[in-house]
Structure 1
């Protein structure tokens, strides 16, 4: 409930923030990585769909069906308005990602989550749900803040680790303006959780992109250019259901 209330307040501030083809701040984009490949005719599900801009991106690539879920009523409302003229059918659910609000199992060609999975209160349950939603051969692609990024601080050109990397669990992110609890998980925890649920991991991306445009956009922010030259901002994982 804390996270839901926080997102109801923050929804307008994050309208259209970092949707596909972006995966996260200062990270390579889908235009470069091509992790999704051809999606025309696919049934797709967006976990943490926010204002719907990533679903709009998918609509422009002629997917067959657009499904999404988000914790925030305000985000779902914004997504409904944004997607009301899409040719593909749109089905949106107000729900935490740890729960199945009525989504079909064994149905989707593609499930993705763009910079949202760290909001889950139960990573194992969320990944289990995703595995069930996908048909055999379906893909799951997600991005989130790299687990190292919040563990270190940049001070006078040097990185200082002031939190233990191996300490996992809920925490109040200092860059978030409202009170909310995110989840800290190690890279190995993401990987092992996917493996335990039956996924085959196909690619892991930890690269950064440091163009002049990126430098201007992220100057003096939590995801700063200077910090990104030393530690990745974003973790991206692509996997497949056998």
Structure 2
């Protein structure tokens, strides 16, 4: 299956399942069982900043940025359903909103050397061409602009629970496209090592400033926790989420 076919497959599945994810994993949250922006302060003051959301989904992270005083809200997403929902959610914003239905591997008409901040909350890992996507983002940002993104930790789906025991089910070292177990094989996601993301950022012209894979556990474990994809029990052993911050040189 080539990259075009993978994108078409993933888009089709997202169009069907998008409503399941409306408002989930959006700023100030970075991802399951991870510290959030109010803990980390990675963005700093966003007032008067032009921000770009890569994989903007239902628009809730852009809504958060608008609420913090961002000057312009821009976003792109692969799916029609998500863009329609984001447009509806953001229609009351008093600042300019520009949304594009597009794969992150393509430039749908975004300006170059324009944005102060680009970010991607649990979306950038969907790319089928990491180098091309990061090259695009690097071009969109002003010199000194920052990129912040989060994604499922690449160790997370390598470890599986059987009864009450966890064991390594797949090699962490083998990279490439895989049918995703959590989606019941309806989508294909690339498995990449943490070092691959760091190296790709450097290759694209970024300076990596922070890599975070801390775990934040709730005070109370939810019922049926052991059956959850992101379980507290598993997070006691390995992180569910990683977060990176990089700057355009």
TM range (shorter): over 0.9
- Counterpart Cα distance in 2 of 1:78 and 1:169: 31
Following superposition, the deviation at residue 155 of structure 1 comes to 3.1
> TM-score, normalised on structure 2?
0.94
Say which SS state the counterpart of residue 88 (structure 1) adopts.
Answer: coil
- Counterpart Cα distance in 2 of 1:44 and 1:94: 17
2:222 match: 216
Residue 89 to residue 178, structure 1, CA distance change in 2 (3 Å): farther
Pair 1:190-2:194 in alignment? no
Pair 1:2-2:1 in alignment? no
- Counterpart Cα distance in 2 of 1:6 and 1:110: 29
Following superposition, the deviation at residue 212 of structure 1 comes to 2.3
2:74 match: 67
**1:218–1:225 CA contact under 8 A, matched in 2:** no
Pair 1:43-2:27 in alignment? no
1:17 match: 24
Following superposition, the deviation at residue 154 of structure 1 comes to 2.5
Following superposition, the deviation at residue 156 of structure 1 comes to 4.2
Pair 1:140-2:138 in alignment? no
Deviation digits for residues 203-240 of structure 1 (CA, Å, limit 9, x no counterpart): 00001110225x32882310000000000000100000
C-alpha RMSD of matched pairs (Å): 1.2
1:81 match: 88
Segments of 5+ residues of structure 2 without an aligned counterpart are 1-7
Segments of 5+ residues of structure 1 without an aligned counterpart are none
**2:179–2:185 CA contact under 8 A, matched in 1:** no
- Counterpart Cα distance in 2 of 1:143 and 1:218: 26
Following superposition, the deviation at residue 182 of structure 1 comes to 0.8
Which runs of structure 1 show a deviation greater than 6 angstroms over 4 or more consecutive aligned residues?
A: none
1:169 match: 176
- Counterpart Cα distance in 2 of 1:79 and 1:188: 33
Following superposition, the deviation at residue 178 of structure 1 comes to 6.2
**1:6–1:178 CA contact under 8 A, matched in 2:** no
Deviation digits for residues 125-159 of structure 1 (CA, Å, limit 9, x no counterpart): 00000100000010000000000001111334433
1:92 match: 99
Following superposition, the deviation at residue 11 of structure 1 comes to 0.8
> TM-score, normalised on structure 1?
0.97
Q: Which of 234, 239, 249 is equivalent to 1:232?
A: 239
